[in-house]
Amino acid sequence: MTTQTLPSASLIKRFAAMVYDSLLVMAVAMAYGAAYVSIKYAVFHTDLPTGERAKMGTEGFVGLILVVECFFWFFWCRGGQTLGMRAWRLQLRQTNGQFASLPQAMVRGLVAPISLALIGLGYWWRLWDKEGRTWHDIASHTQVVQLPKNKKS
């Protein structure tokens, strides 16, 4: 099934899926932070000055961004859905109906935060695009589509 046969996902459902996914991303970020700080201070015996909090530093922050990006890349390439997207029956696809490739997921993962950071302008663009695409849809040559409801027998 190509993306032309399925409707583009609405902004409300995209944002709802983002809320679900943000909860998962927070859990992943907390687990990463705990693991990183534990390794930094326990394994490498980095001294923590008295009264100072454990810090990840620049390298830890870069690692966190990479872990969050990998979270999305994995799900977009393997089934086209994060858990939040699955809850709202949304799926990321190429125009030919295939799931996103890793380079497409990477482009999408880099452009989507910019789309959101600019007061959501990259998302609001969907309202003017004839095909209902956001900036990151256009940049990655993918589209988030609304899947039909499953018919129960």
Reference 68, options 100, 27, 25; nearest CA is: 25
Residue 153 lies in a domain: no
What is the per-residue pLDDT for 57?
83
Q: Does a structural domain hold residue 152?
A: no
Return d(Cα 16, Cα 89) in angstroms, integer. 11
Is there a contact between 44 and 53 (Cβ–Cβ < 8 Å)?
Answer: no
At residue 78's C-alpha, the angle toward residues 30 and 17, to 5°, is: 55
Q: Which segments of the chain have a pLDDT < 70?
A: 1-4, 48-49, 52, 151-153
Helix (H, G, I), strand (E, B), or coil: what is residue 5?
Answer: helix
Q: Is the dihedral of CA 17, 18, 20, 25 positive or negative?
A: positive
Tens digit of each residue's pLDDT (9 = 90 or more) over 8-19:
999 999 999 999
At 109, the amino acid letter reads G
How many domains are contained in the chain?
1
**Residue 17 placed within a domain:** yes
Domain assignment present for 115? yes
Res 120: pLDDT:
92
pLDDT at residue 1 in the model: 56
Domain boundaries, position 34: 3-146
User: How confident is the model at residue 4, as a pLDDT?
Assistant: 66
CA separation, residue 50 to residues 33, 53, 54 (Å): 20, 9, 11
Is 94 inside any structural domain? yes
66: left (phi over 0), alpha (psi -120 to 50) or beta: alpha
What does the pLDDT read at residue 39?
Answer: 87
Token duo for residue 38: 């534990």
- What is the per-residue pLDDT for 151? 67
Cα angle 43-72-110, degrees, rounded to a multiple of 5: 95
What's the pLDDT at 71?
97
